[in-house]
Structure formats: C-alpha cells, structure tokens
Amino acid sequence: MSPSAYTSSITAILSSSLLLPSVLMIACLLFLYLAYRLALRAFSSSASAAAATAPARKLPLPPGSMGWPYIGETFQLYSNSNPNIFFALKQKRYGSIFKTHILGCPCVMVSSPEAARLVLVTRAHLFKPTFPASKECMLGPQAIFFQQGEYHARLRRLVLRAFMPDGIRGFVPNIESVALCALRSWDGRMVNTFQEMKTYALNVALLSIFGKDEISYMEELKQCYYTLEKGYNSMPINLPGTLFHKAMKARKQLGQIVAKIISSRREKKVGDAGGLLRSFMEAKEALTEEQISDNIIGVIFAARDTTASVLTWIVKFLGENPAVLQAVTEEQEEIMNSKVVDEEEKSLSWADTKRMPMTSRVIQETMRVASILSFTFREAVQDVELEGYLIPKGWKVMPLFRNIHHSPDNFPNPEKFDPSRFEVSPKPNTFMPFGNGSHSCPGNELAKLEMLVLLHHLTTKYRWSVSGLQSGIQFGPFALPLNGLPMTFSRKI
C-alpha cells in the first residue's frame, strides 16, 4: 500500500500517473527533452570534472536503459497494465540488478535475495524511505512509513507493542464475531469478494486500534476514511471540488475525531480496551495528537487493502484447487469439532490458531504467488556500491519482491500454486511478503490471525465455486483477481 513510504502507495503513485492528461504529458515531454539536450551540452564538461573527485564514481552504473527523459520508461512499465511483465522482461534481459527511469526518477531495481537483504536489512541506513509529497501529506507527514532514526524506532516500539502476539491474543473472540457477522451478511447473495474483505479488514483494523469498547464515532470515522481513500489515487491538485481537496478535508476531520476519542478516554480514564491508541496514549515520551492521528490513519491504510487482497486471492486459489480446499476444510473441521461442548461451539482461542499448519501454508503460498506488494521503494542517501555497481546518491532503489518470489532458483516451478512447498522453510530473503528489516510489516501477526479466523468459518460453514468465472488480474494498485472476484457463498447446511 503498497510504504518505505508504504509500498502500496508507491504503486499508487504509478497508477495516479496514468491519470495525467496525455496532452500535459506530451507538452512536458517535448519541453523537458529540449531542456535535457541543452543541459547535457552545458554540463558535460563539469560532470566529468566531478567524476574525477568521487572515487565511487569509477564504478559502472548497473545495466539497463533509461528510456526517454523525464517519463523514462513509465509507459513501458504500464503498457501491459501489468507492471510485473515489465519487471520480468527487464530481469531476463539485464539480470538481477538493472537501472531504469520512471516518473522522473532514475532508479535501480534489484531482485536477488542478497541485494534485497543489503537494501532492506544490513545496509538499511544507506537507503531511506521515500514517497511523493502528495502521498505523504494525505497519509500524514508524521506517519511511521516516512520516518527514520530515533522517531521511527520510538513509533515502531509502540506499534509493535500493540500488534505483537501479546497485544492481539485477547482480540481473537472479537475478531471472530466480526468474521461471523461478515459471513452471515454474504450468505446466498452475489458479492464482490474484495469489497467484502475490505469491510472485514477495516473492522478488524478499527478493533485493533481503538480496542474492544469504543463504539461512538466509528461510523463517522469510516465515512471520512472512505472519502480520504477516494482522493488517494487522484491527481494531487488541492482546489475546491477535486477529490484530492475532499480527501485532505476528510483527513482533517479524521484528526478531529481521533482527538475527540483521545480526550474522552482521558476523562473517563477507562482501563483495558487494548489496542494501538492505548499504546500511543501510554507512551513514556508523549506523542502529540497529530502524531497519533497521522499514525492511526497510516495503519488503517496499511492494514486494509493489503489483507483484503490476500484474502480475495485465497478464496480464488482454494476454489481452483479442490484437493487443497479439502485438506484445509478437514483441518478446520477438526478444530471446530474440538470446540463443541454440549452442542455449543465455543470461541476460537489464540492457541487454536496455532494448530492450523495446512491453512497457514495456504496463506504463505497465496502471498508468494500473488505477491500483492510487487516491490517497495527506497532512496540512496549517498553513493552506494551494490554488487560491483554504483547507485548514485538520490536514486531510487526498488527491491522487487515479486521477482524474488517467482524465481525458479528460489521456488521451483514458481507459477504453480502448491502450498506443500512451505513444508520446508524458505531460505532467508527469498520470501518477504511482509518485507524485512527495520520497516518490515509490524502488522503481520494480526494479518495472519484475521485471515486464519475468517478461513476457519468460511471453510467449515460455506461453499463457493469459481468455475466459469473470468480469470485475470487487475492492479488497483494491488494485484487483484479481475473485478474483485464476484462470488456467491452459500451455507453448507
């Protein structure tokens, strides 16, 4: 969603570029091309002088082509409307590290586990998170994705405290009620699977943020969030009437709602609702209200479409692989049967969700095949050497998760959906659906938990069929089955 700045939004930057009127593009292109030719002539002498003083510059740039000035290879990237085709072609042609140029930024794309480890983990201090300013002001400039150093570490501790197992295990029964309520509402009618999963993921995210007993303001908050979301992929023009303008207004309102919730909590001094807000409010070194609301909005954004996309893919893959669905259903039925006491089904517990190895492998394999966050973005803070090549200061660096997940070196027969491959743990830095290093996903335990809980009830109580559906992928900005996977779920008995 997609974050260094959150990955998703990165993809969103790219998709928003498509909205640029082509006229503007062409004008820009001509103008910039001319300017570029002039600049090239004017600066060619000074550039070679600079090269002599910086030893790192003796290293070659990675192979690859930069395309046209300014727009670079943006069109090639989008020409198939599937960015992954572009990545795969480039990798085939140039290898696991290559340069390109998209949306005005020179960038280096990397797709070996070693290079990804270097950028995200071992030399992460040389690569800072990066986002376009418009995305930053929409999500909140103080949100965790954009930070580095001490403030980032402090925020991250607070977020992890709320989302690590000890913070979320108490929510299992609540997540279960949200899941059951969602499933009941789908029963027997045609639904858009992705839309329904988004509603589920939003409700779980709000529960994990505001805790168990917050009910006031939730409808208002959701409405504001929907408005904000609509502006997210729009052109960043802040004039009355534009989606962007409405989104910025909605963001302000969201901040006010969060402030109201905070002050009512301070007054009531209520105890143990749990959740991220409590973790923020109990920070030793107090956060400002703005810091809190930027991060709450950011977490909703990071949690929602990501989890919903993965769940949608799981429904699809299970539908297409009856033997796998059968195995998952048997695993879940066994747990269900063990929960029935005096003909009543007891709530799931955290421990139950740890007895779902088959279902967990289906989640892993789905995240590998679908790789909904195809890549993330960083920016080199100085000239950096990578595998014998120079990455100049200021260039973007993109670890291509999807290429890593689809390389036959890491996963034999990579296009095949085969959960059994996860019976053996993948090698380090070959499977990174949640990223790695200091910006890796702090919500991964919650994401897995909410997927397991939903799948428990979905497989034991409902049937669905994907046969005869159109297959295909769309990007919005996450990879998603075509049209959000329209589907009918019906109760088994």
Ligand X SMILES: *[C@@H]1O[C@H](CO)[C@@H](O)[C@H](O)[C@H]1NC(C)=O
The entry of ligand X, ligand HEM, none near residue 299 (CB within 5 to 8 angstroms by kind) is ligand HEM
- For position 130 contacting ligand HEM by CB under 6 A, the verdict is no
- For position 429 contacting ligand X by CB under 6 A, the verdict is yes
- Quick one: which segment of 100-108, 216-224, 299-307, 414-422 binds ligand HEM (CB under 6 A)? 299-307
- For position 291 contacting ligand X by CB under 6 A, the verdict is no
- For position 448 contacting ligand X by CB under 6 A, the verdict is no
On whether the CB atoms of residues 235 and 20 are closer than 8 A, the answer is: yes
- Quick one: which segment of 75-83, 229-237, 308-316, 425-433 binds ligand X (CB under 6 A)? 425-433
User: Which amino acid does the sequence have at 278?
Assistant: R
- Quick one: which segment of 226-234, 309-317, 427-435, 459-467 binds ligand X (CB under 6 A)? 427-435
> Of 392 and 437, which has the nearer Cβ to ligand HEM?
437
The entry of ligand HEM, ligand X, none near residue 429 (CB within 5 to 8 angstroms by kind) is ligand X
- Each residue 150-189 as x (binds ligand HEM by CB under 6 A) or -, in order, gives ------x--x---x--------------------------
Chain centre to alpha carbon of residue 296: 16
- For position 225 contacting ligand HEM by CB under 6 A, the verdict is no
We find the least distance from the C-beta atom of residue 411 to ligand X, in angstroms, to be 13
Place of tokens 């709602």: 257
Q: Which two tokens stand for residue 230?
A: 């609509």
On whether the CB atoms of residues 129 and 145 are closer than 8 A, the answer is: yes
CB atoms under 10 Å from CB of 474, counted, come to 14
- For position 102 contacting ligand HEM by CB under 6 A, the verdict is no
- For position 433 contacting ligand HEM by CB under 6 A, the verdict is yes
Residues 289 and 292: their CA atoms lie apart, in Å, by: 5
- For position 119 contacting ligand X by CB under 6 A, the verdict is no
- For position 432 contacting ligand X by CB under 6 A, the verdict is yes
The entry of ligand X, ligand HEM, none near residue 14 (CB within 5 to 8 angstroms by kind) is none
We find the least distance from the C-beta atom of residue 230 to ligand HEM, in angstroms, to be 21
Check the annotation: does 28 bind a ligand.
no
List residues binding ligand X (CB under 6 A).
Answer: 117, 121, 428-429, 432, 436
Binding region: 441
Binding site for ligand HEM (CB under 6 A): 3-4, 6-7, 144-145, 156, 159, 163, 205, 208, 299, 302-303, 306-307, 310, 372-373, 376, 433-435, 439-443, 446-447
- The annotation places the binding site for heme at 441
